[in-house]
């Protein structure tokens, strides 16, 4: 049985941030320029895949599932961390995931995506292509996502992306960090 207090989890999905398993906050005591303020840092490396983008990936999938989207083959353009989160979450949930990305992305990141179960469509485009570039990762994902049996979450236009942060990054707790 998962126990966030002991940091023991039965599934990678149980590690996602929630009220029961909050991302730790750390008070920064010597922050220049904040003499009369208490400043806290949110330790995002405690997220299952080590990035704030884990929240985005989880919320994009949650939103699609709640809307009843049938996910057989998921495709998403990525330059890294959101793709990592989607690859690992897709793997844990049994979804097939394809990342469209630039060959300019470091080989280590591409290798990690493969290790976590992603199929890669590697393109000779800019690292952060302009939306609408016909040869780019975004355009390829959009084209693949329109095919039968495929779905693109579209992290760049999907309202579930910023909603992830409204839900889990900085929800209001009475103006104080929890446990204080």
The answer to whether the beta carbons of residues 93 and 170 sit under 8 Å apart is no
Element (H, E) at 93: helix 81-93
Question: Are the CB atoms for 38 and 60 separated by under 8 Å?
Answer: no
- The active-site residue out of 35, 38, 42, 53 is 53
Contact 71, 151 (CB under 8 A): yes
Q: Is 53 a catalytic residue?
A: yes
Question: What is the pairing mode between strands 73-77 and 39-42?
Answer: unpaired
Active site members: 53
């Amino acid at each position: 049985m998962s126990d966030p207090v002991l940091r023991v989890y039965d599934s990678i999905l149980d590690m996602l941030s929630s009220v029961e398993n909050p991302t730790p906050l750390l008070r920064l005591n010597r922050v220049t320029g904040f003499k009369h303020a208490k400043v806290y840092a949110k330790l995002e490396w405690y997220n299952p895949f080590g990035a704030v983008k884990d929240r985005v990936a989880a919320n994009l999938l949650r939103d699609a599932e709640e809307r009843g989207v049938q996910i057989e083959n998921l495709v998403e353009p990525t330059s890294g961390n959101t793709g990592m989160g989607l690859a690992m979450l897709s793997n844990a949930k049994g979804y097939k995931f394809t990342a469209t990305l630039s060959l300019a992305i470091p080989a280590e990141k591409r290798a990690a995506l493969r290790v976590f179960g992603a199929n890669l469509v590697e393109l000779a485009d800019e690292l952060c292509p302009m939306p609408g570039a016909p040869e780019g990762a975004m355009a390829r994902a959009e084209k693949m996502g329109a095919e039968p049996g495929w779905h693109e979450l579209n992290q760049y236009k999907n309202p579930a992306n910023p909603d992830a942060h409204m839900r889990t990054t900085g929800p209001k707790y009475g103006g104080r960090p929890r446990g204080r």
